[in-house]
Amino acid sequence: MVRFGAAFWVEVAVVSWVCLLGLSGCPRNLGANAVDEAVRVEALSARFTPGDRGDFEATLSVSGAGLQAGGVVGLQWEIWLDNRWFAAGTQQLAESLPDKGRNTFVVRLPVVFRRGAPASDEPTSMEVGIRGGLLVQTGGGVQRLPFQYRTRLEVRYAPSVDLEAGL
């Protein structure tokens, strides 16, 4: 007869609990593929000044397929530079949510930051990432539709990133 110790049963309980969470009725888990594909980042650009300002422009495309009629009412976003967290924000939006097809629109994400070193006007290649969620108002309330995108850009006056993190 094989006997299992307490550590084994704790591990079984934890694995079972995690599996149940993955199968729960959480809206993020139901139809995750449809929700994850509802928002696409079509393009991302970055501009910086020699001073302490910059902005990012993201072209977002959203599909209303499978959602109740409504509209995009907000945006939560994070920007990552070379796999390091750089900035985050929220914005109110007023974009339509089509029943069929996609609605494409551009959002401007302004940032203010402190430079650690003087800016160079020479183009610098850096990986720029954005992730977050569009907040969609539907008949059943507000739903968050996640998105994530990375690209490599040549930017002038790029800030140095000294934070410890990763995307």
The C-alpha atoms of residue 132 and residue 149 are separated, in whole angstroms, by 10
The C-alpha atoms of residue 44 and residue 55 are separated, in whole angstroms, by 11
Greater pLDDT, 137 or 149 = 149
Asked if residue 134 lies in contact with residue 40, where contact means CB atoms within 8 angstroms, the answer is no
Residue 163 maps to a domain: no
pLDDT interval class at 162 (50, 70, 90): low
Does 19 have pLDDT greater than 90?
no
Q: How many domains does the chain have?
A: 1
Contacts of 155 (CB under 8 A, 6+ apart): 46, 47, 48, 123, 124, 126, 128
Contacts of 1 (CB under 8 A, 6+ apart): none
SS3 36: helix
Residue 26 maps to a domain: no
Greater pLDDT, 99 or 36 = 99
User: What is the overall mean pLDDT for the chain?
Assistant: 78
- 27-36, 90-99, 120-129: least confidently modelled range: 27-36
Residue 78 maps to a domain: yes
Residue that is written with structure tokens 């007869």 in the block: 1
Average pLDDT over residues 57-64: 92
Residue 60 maps to a domain: yes
Full residue range of the structural domain in which residue 108 is found: 33-155
Residue 119 maps to a domain: yes
What share of the chain has pLDDT > 70, as a percent?
A: 72
pLDDT in tens, 67-120: 766 789 999 999 999 999 999 999 999 988 877 788 899 999 999 998 888 888
Q: How many CA atoms lie within 13 A of 160 on its CB side?
A: 7
**End-to-end CA distance of the chain, in Å?**
48
Check which CATH number belongs to the domain holding 110 and give it: 2.60.40.1820
Does 24 have pLDDT greater than 50?
no
Residue 8 maps to a domain: no
Asked if residue 111 lies in contact with residue 56, where contact means CB atoms within 8 angstroms, the answer is yes
- 52-61, 109-118, 155-164: least confidently modelled range: 155-164
- 29-33, 42-46, 95-99, 119-123: least confidently modelled range: 29-33
Does 12 have pLDDT greater than 80?
no
What's the confidence (pLDDT) of residue 36? 61
